[in-house]
Structures are given as C-alpha cells and as structure tokens.
Chains A and B, each alone.
Chain A
Amino acid sequence: MRRHVVIGSGIAGLSACEAIRAADPSSQVTMVGEEPHPFYSRPGLAYLLTGSVPETSLYLRTPAEVAALGIRRVHARVASVSIDAHQVTLEDGTILAYDRLLVATGAVSVPTPFPGAEKEGVLQLDGLDQARRMMKLARKGSSAVVVGGGSTALEIVEGLQARGVRTHYFLRGDRYWSKVLDATESAIVEGRLEHEGVRVHRNTEVARVTGNGRMTGVVTEAGDAVPCEMLAVAVGVKPRLDLAKAAGIPVDRGIVVDELLQTGAADVFAAGDVAQVTDPETGRAELDTLWSSALAMGRAAGRNMTGAAEPYRKAVPMNVTRLAGLVTTVIGAVGGGKDPDMVGITRGQSEGWSGDAAAFTLQDRHGTDRVRVMLDERRVVGALVMGSQQLSKPLSRLVAERTDISSIRAECAADPDAALQRLLAFHDERYGGRAPAR
C-alpha cells in the first residue's frame, strides 16, 4: 500500500488529496498542516472581513465529504524532511514515512519592513487566524492604517471600512497597483475609496510604529503622527521555502518543478504558491498565487503521485478581484513596470501578467465600466475588464486560444473607439455566440 504524505492544507493540498483518493482508493493519505481549521477558502477571507459571508460558509467541504476522503489529518508543524530516508519528521518527533511526498506549503507575507512590527495591533493577513484577529480589533470608531498594494491591501481596507473603522491607506508611490493597473484604473479605484471615506495618503511611508507593547499609532517618513489601534501590512508574499531548502530540494525563487510537478528530489512533488513552474510558451519561470492555478496544480500533482504521467499545462493566468466594489478581471499580460508598494507579488496575482510585448490599449468607458485590451502584432495578449463583466468571456477566449487577429489589427489601430466592437464581432464570427450588448 502506497503511502502519500501531503504538507499543506490549502487548496493545492486538498485537491491533491482528492486526486490521489480518486485514482487510488486503497492508498494511505496523510495531510500535515499547521492550521487547525476545517478546509476553508483563503480568497474568501476578503468577504469574511467585509461581513458578506459567515466563517462557516467558507468551509470548502462538508464533514461527510471529508470523511469520505479518508485522509489522516495531522495538525502539526513539520520540523524536517529527509529525502534519502523518505521521511517527514514533525516538531514533536513523530516520523511519517512516505513513498510519495507533496510539498504544498504555500506563500507567506514578507516581513513588515519597518521597526516596531512586533507590537500588538500590527497584523498581516495570511490565514483565518489573522482574519479573526483583524475582525476583533476592528471596532467601530477605531482607527487603522493599511500599508501595501495589490489586492490583499485593498481587501483589508474595504473590510475595515465596512466595519466602521476610520481607515487610512498609505501608498508608497503615487498611485494604486501600478504593476497591473494603468493610471486611469488606479484613479477609478482611489476615487471610489475616497468617496467612501477612506483616507488615501500618497507618497507616504511608515517610519516607525509607536507605543509600548500595544501600538498607539504610526509616524510617517515625513514626520506626521497618525494615531491608530491597528496597522495592517500587505506588501507582498513569497513562497515558503524553508523546509525544502533545508531538505536539499532544489529551489530558485520557488521550488523548481518539471512539467509533471516533480521536484529535483526523488518522489517529491510540489504544487501551489510554493511551486515555480516554467511556462512552455515563454520559457519563463514564473510564480503565481492564483487559487485556480493552485487547484489545478494540486490535482495534477496528486494524479502524478499515483503514477499517472500527465503534464501540467499552465493556463493563461486569469484572476478576478473586487477593487473598491468593482469586479475586475485580469487576463494574460496587462501590465509592467515597478510597484513601489510591493516587495513580492500580492496574493491572487501572477507574474505572467507582466507583458513587455509591443502592445497598445483600447479603451471603452461607460461610467465605471472599463475595458483595456492589449494587442501585439498578431493576437490579444491580455485584457483588464473592470465593472460590467460581459466582455470577460470573449476576451478570455481570444487570449487563451491565441487567436490570430492580424486581419483586423490595422482596423483596430486606426479607430480605437470602434476597436472593441470589431474585436467582439471577430470573436463571434470565429467562435459563434451573440455579441454582448454594450
């Protein structure tokens, strides 16, 4: 009987266990995780913070489904992995022998970049425990400072604001999420935040945190004091590599995996935020922190651990996020440049979103609805759809299928106002379906 051990209880680990169980009903599956909670939706924490959903609704599997899965869940921290002995040692000394191991340890927030971060009230949002802590501190009428960029920082801002907290949002640069959004999109998001009462401070950095034990406020680099009871920091995440490094599993920026999601160590696989996959199209080794990627990788790794040899094909990186209440879909390569607010990537982001191809932008604006399409010489390489989502589907398809649009490219370039309609008509001619009404 084959023994499978999975380290990590996030969506990559869970989907791997399910795939193993489906392919090999009799094998032994042990999952080691540090969180004592039932499996929950990590991206759903954003909606827990805003109060849109109760915690129990975030649970991904019913108790019956978990029981049917027939896995042994161990709540523990792994001390070490011996790849020669095929053994995992837990912190209490327990040894788990494996025939196949999956490392799905995820990503963790990069440390807070200023002194005073150990004080009570300084938080980062890595999991359910921190979300609970944040909600406990988010008393109506209290004040908070949020630092960072990307989707996580904004999720915190929106969650705190929804709870009646006076929220200050510090941007190190002059606009929000410059790595992914263009200047107009940043302005839309910032404008909506300010309209709702969030105090957006641009070109502002925390110099230090004040208070003894419990924080009482922050002092900015410019010397301004902002009293607050909470400071939430989301300046990016990075793969949790400590275990793999110590075990001698080859790592680069993430754990290096081949197309079967095998690491450089025999019988050891990796999946999810911790894994570094090379995109066969571009040859680039990319990290992403997307739920959909983690799920697909976990599933593929699980199957391959049971003996299948199915290559994992990286899909066009796509994610949906709610920015100041606007549903926003990011597809393929849309951005570039530097983002002074981020040290690593944010959760729910892909490095594949950075495109440096010669591309131009087509815009269609109706109030807060906005669509940006990136074209290179032959195809649509990316799109960002904000507000109404009617165009997400056709644009995703054009990007994913690498559809050759060179026959209409000149037309699009000549008349950007009509280009979006032309592109949609082209999509419909090619793939059928009614053009969404605009």
Chain B
Amino acid sequence: MLRFLRRTRSAPELEPGAATEAAHGAGKDTDAGEGVLTIVGSGADAVRRGPLPIDGERLSLLAGSYVEASPGRCVQCGICSYNCPVGIDVRSYSREALPVLESHCILCGECVARCPRGVLSFHRPAEG
C-alpha cells in the first residue's frame, strides 16, 4: 500500500508554542483531570469513556476550542463523519459553514487529520 495513503492515527501537528502555553495554563486554571472532564461536557460517551489522557496540548485545545471548516474547500465526501469516534456528523457542519460546537466532541483531531482537502482545523481562542 502507498505510504501516503495509509491511515494515520496521529493528531495533527500543533505549533511549537502551544504545548508550553498549555502546560502553563494547566497549572493556573485546573487542579485535576476531573475538572477537564467537566470542560469536555455532558456527553454521555465522554463520561462513559472515563478520563481522557490529558496532556498540555490537549488541555489547551479543550479550553474553549472547537473544530471549524472552510466550506469552500469541502466536497462533502464524508470522511470526517465516517471517522468521528463519537459519531458526530462533521460533514453537516461543514455543509452549513457552522463550527462543530457539539458537547460530545472530544477534539481528538481525527476529522482534522483525515480530511483529504484540509477543510477542517482547530479554532483556538488565542486566534481571535
């Protein structure tokens, strides 16, 4: 199989500064992983799955971040929805040009990483 066609499970790359900022933020705003679960929201799946492995990058993303789409790049192929581990129909958000503001979203990055056209990205509060 082609190397570049193989599915990768890795999250999309973050910019170098993100991890440091996030680690810093973690010390300031939260004292335990439980607090993070509250941020994830009331999603049944998230609760059932138990605490997520939280590192600095993930924490930075979780705090007020979400997945957003550039609809002009999207051809509605459905790879995003197909790969979402919690069953969010990401494609419909892209179709309506809406941010993926779903309490179930665990910001795992599967849709962002797998979209073949670079439609999806993380919106981070710092980006304004």
Q: Contact residues of A with B, CB < 8 Å?
A: 41-44, 46-47, 50-54, 57-60, 158, 161-162, 164, 192, 195-197, 291-292, 315, 318, 320-322, 324-327, 329, 389, 392-393, 396, 432-434, 437
Task: Judge whether A392 and B118 touch: CB under 8 Å.
Answer: yes
B65, chain A: closest CB distance, angstroms: 15
B90, chain A: closest CB distance, angstroms: 11
Cβ-closest chain A residue relative to B73: A320
Q: Contact residues of B with A, CB < 8 Å?
A: 1-5, 7, 15-17, 70, 72-73, 75-79, 81-82, 114, 116-119, 127-128
- A46 to B77 CA separation, bound complex (whole angstroms): 9
- A292 to B73 CA separation, bound complex (whole angstroms): 8
Residues of B within 8 A of A58 (CB): 77-78
Residues of A within 8 A of B128 (CB): 432-434
Residues of A within 8 A of B127 (CB): 433-434
- A396 to B117 CA separation, bound complex (whole angstroms): 15
Given contacts A41-B78, A53-B79, A437-B16, contact A324 B73 (CB under 8 A): no
Given contacts A162-B1, A324-B4, contact A292 B72 (CB under 8 A): yes
- A50 to B118 CA separation, bound complex (whole angstroms): 17
Task: Judge whether B77 and A44 touch: CB under 8 Å.
Answer: yes
Task: Judge whether A320 and B15 touch: CB under 8 Å.
Answer: no
- A192 to B4 CA separation, bound complex (whole angstroms): 9
Residues of B within 8 A of A192 (CB): 4
A158, chain B: closest CB distance, angstroms: 7
Q: Which of B15, B73, B75 has the largest number of chain A CB atoms within 10 A?
A: B75
Cβ-closest chain A residue relative to B115: A327
Q: Of the candidates B16, B77, B118, which one forms a contact with A41 in the assembled complex, judged by CB atoms under 8 Å apart?
A: B77
A66, chain B: closest CB distance, angstroms: 14
Task: Judge whether B79 and A47 touch: CB under 8 Å.
Answer: yes
Task: Judge whether B77 and A43 touch: CB under 8 Å.
Answer: yes
- A46 to B82 CA separation, bound complex (whole angstroms): 16
- A329 to B127 CA separation, bound complex (whole angstroms): 23
- A207 to B77 CA separation, bound complex (whole angstroms): 36
Task: Judge whether B114 and A320 touch: CB under 8 Å.
Answer: no
Task: Judge whether B2 and A44 touch: CB under 8 Å.
Answer: no
Q: Of the candidates B7, B75, B79, B117, which one forms a contact with A57 in the assembled complex, judged by CB atoms under 8 Å apart?
A: B79
B107, chain A: closest CB distance, angstroms: 19
Task: Judge whether A196 and B2 touch: CB under 8 Å.
Answer: yes
Residues of A within 8 A of B77 (CB): 41, 43-44, 47, 53, 57-58
